């Protein structure tokens, strides 16, 4: 999943990079144009090369299709990344899982990034000559963070269409990620190649939470407290996404996750032997989330969700002792 996460950042980075403040007028103008390129439909081949801090290298090639705010990337192993301006989906065929997260191409995301005023004092953008990528003449921009907390980036932007042709990132901890087009055609994607429909039977889970673990693995982890705990009552709209592995205070904790597709809200039931539920209780003051902790049989349990106290209590009371 590391390579796919870096790739998603690289190929969908125009929303982020167009929001970055600039010092040089030329760089500002180029970035502004790259946010609204003159051509927003294309088909191309990309190559991603990753060098990890330990020197290990890997290479990945993928097909890219874009039409406006829709972007699709097809990987050789059958994985698909799809972004429609509202949500981003990453489909992995082997476990038949779709990880869903916020779009990297939405206008709301850009507006939020532009409002991050603190970045204006930290980032510099400089124009550093011209180059050729995939047979296209390109401006070259360098973006740096004076505090070193954000990866330095180098961008190659098509001089004619202002599409980003290549992105290089250098994380503060070392290593690098480079994604570039090796070929690009500014044409509409072939019919049927851009849309993505979640395959039948695929499990949809929140992005960043990892993939659900097999039921047999969940049963093994929960053996010390008598087996996985599932609430008998789940509020309307929430659907089971499976069991996930979570590390808490150095030990493995099981999490039963229920997702509300209509709101992208999650209800999570953390469970484990003597977790130290006080840590979860401190989450209770966070905005838009409530926490209810308790003991069920031999397990400490924490129910975490954007629900009322009454609803949380009803969920907790329905968990068998």
Q: How far apart are CA 89 and CA 91, in angstroms?
A: 6
pLDDT of amino acid 42: 95
Burial class (CB in 10 A: 0-12, 13-18, 19+), 52: middle
Q: How far apart are CA 181 and CA 167, in angstroms?
A: 10
pLDDT of amino acid 100: 84
Q: Mapping DSSP to helix (H, G, I), strand (E, B) and coil, where does residue 62 land?
A: strand
Q: How far apart are CA 252 and CA 271, in angstroms?
A: 10
pLDDT of amino acid 18: 28
Q: How far apart are CA 47 and CA 64, in angstroms?
A: 10
Residues 6+ apart with CB under 8 A from 124: 22, 23, 143, 144, 146
- Residue 240's H or E segment, with its range, is strand 239-248
Extract the residue ranges of the chain whose pLDDT is less than 50. 1-25, 114-119, 285
What is the bridge-based pairing of β-strands 203-206 and 97-102? parallel
pLDDT of amino acid 7: 41
Q: How far apart are CA 223 and CA 318, in angstroms?
A: 20
Q: How far apart are CA 255 and CA 283, in angstroms?
A: 16
The residue among 1, 190, 220 whose CA lies nearest residue 97 is 1
The residue among 181, 139, 166 whose CA lies nearest residue 33 is 139
> What DSSP designation does 59 have?
E
């Amino acid at each position: 999943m590391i390579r796919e996460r870096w790739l998603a950042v690289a190929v969908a980075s125009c929303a982020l990079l167009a929001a970055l403040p600039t010092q040089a007028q030329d760089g500002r103008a180029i970035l502004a144009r790259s946010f609204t390129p003159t051509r927003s439909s294309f088909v191309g081949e990309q190559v991603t090369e990753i060098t990890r801090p330990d020197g290990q290298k890997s290479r990945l090639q993928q097909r890219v299709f874009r039409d406006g705010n829709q972007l699709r990337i097809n990987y050789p192993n059958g994985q698909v990344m799809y972004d429609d301006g509202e949500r981003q989906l990453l489909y992995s065929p082997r476990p038949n899982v779709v990880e869903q997260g916020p779009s990297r191409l939405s206008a709301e995301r850009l507006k939020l990034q532009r409002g991050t005023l603190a970045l204006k004092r930290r980032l510099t953008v400089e124009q550093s000559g011209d180059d050729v990528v995939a047979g296209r003449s390109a401006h070259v921009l360098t973006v740096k963070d004076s505090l070193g907390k954000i990866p330095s980036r180098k961008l190659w932007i098509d001089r004619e269409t202002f599409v980003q042709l290549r992105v290089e990132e250098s994380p503060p901890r070392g290593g690098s990620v480079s994604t570039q087009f090796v070929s690009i055609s500014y044409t509409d994607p072939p019919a049927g190649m851009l849309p993505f429909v979640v395959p039948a039977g695929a499990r949809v889970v929140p992005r960043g939470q990892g993939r659900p673990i097999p039921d047999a693995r969940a049963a093994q982890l929960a053996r010390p407290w008598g087996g996985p705990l599932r609430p008998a009552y789940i509020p309307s709209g929430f659907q089971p996404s499976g069991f996930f592995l979570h590390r808490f205070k150095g030990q493995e904790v099981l999490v039963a996750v229920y997702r509300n597709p209509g709101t992208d809200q999650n209800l999570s039931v953390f469970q484990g032997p003597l977790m130290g539920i006080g840590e979860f209780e401190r989450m209770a003051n966070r905005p838009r989330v409530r926490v209810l902790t308790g003991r069920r049989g031999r397990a400490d349990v924490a129910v975490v969700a954007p629900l009322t106290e009454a609803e949380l209590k009803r969920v907790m009371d329905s968990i068998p002792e």
